[in-house]
Amino acid sequence: MKRVIATDKAPKAIGPYSQAVEVNGMLFVSGQIPLDPTTGKLVLGGIKEQTEQVFKNIGAILAEAGYSFSDVVKSTVLLEEITDFQAMNEVYGRFYVENQPARAAYAVKDLPMGASIEIETIAAK
């Protein structure tokens, strides 16, 4: 059975998609960009601040669905600049201290709303 997840503690979808969908014990979190859910605007700062906000958004969605970062099995990181990889990785590592999920990271030309990073996440119970 498919269950759509939505929370006001993460940015509203900016298109025809859900924040997350749960099916058969798996949670698929849509790509999160560094939007402040209270203002709907990108957070100020560099890649570290933007990555931190992305993880706040992902954490809020995981919690709403009854999951945590320890349930994450796969992440896909999209970076505007691959040179931001190391700084992003420092923040990323604080959220996945042990039993880290599988991950892929790519540099892309443009991200929504001029963001420098987007991360999509899959979790499982």
User: Distance between CA atoms of 114 and 32, rounded to whole angstroms?
Assistant: 13
Report residue 4's pLDDT band, with 50, 70 and 90 as the boundaries. very high
Q: Are 33 and 54 in contact (CB under 8 A)?
A: yes
What DSSP letter does each residue of 4-48 carry, written as one string? EE--TTSPPPSSSS-SEEEETTEEEEEEE-SB-TTT-SBPSSSHH
Give the number of C-alpha atoms closer than 13 A to the C-alpha of residue 115, restricted to the C-beta side.
Answer: 28
The answer to pTM > 0.75 is yes
Span 7-35, pLDDT tens digits: 999 999 888 999 999 999 999 999 999 99
Report residue 38's pLDDT band, with 50, 70 and 90 as the boundaries. very high
Span 53-92, pLDDT tens digits: 999 999 999 999 999 999 999 999 999 999 999 999 999 9
Place of tokens 């990889």: 85
Class of domain 2-124: alpha beta
Residue 14, pLDDT score: 82
For the chain, the structural domain boundaries read 2-124
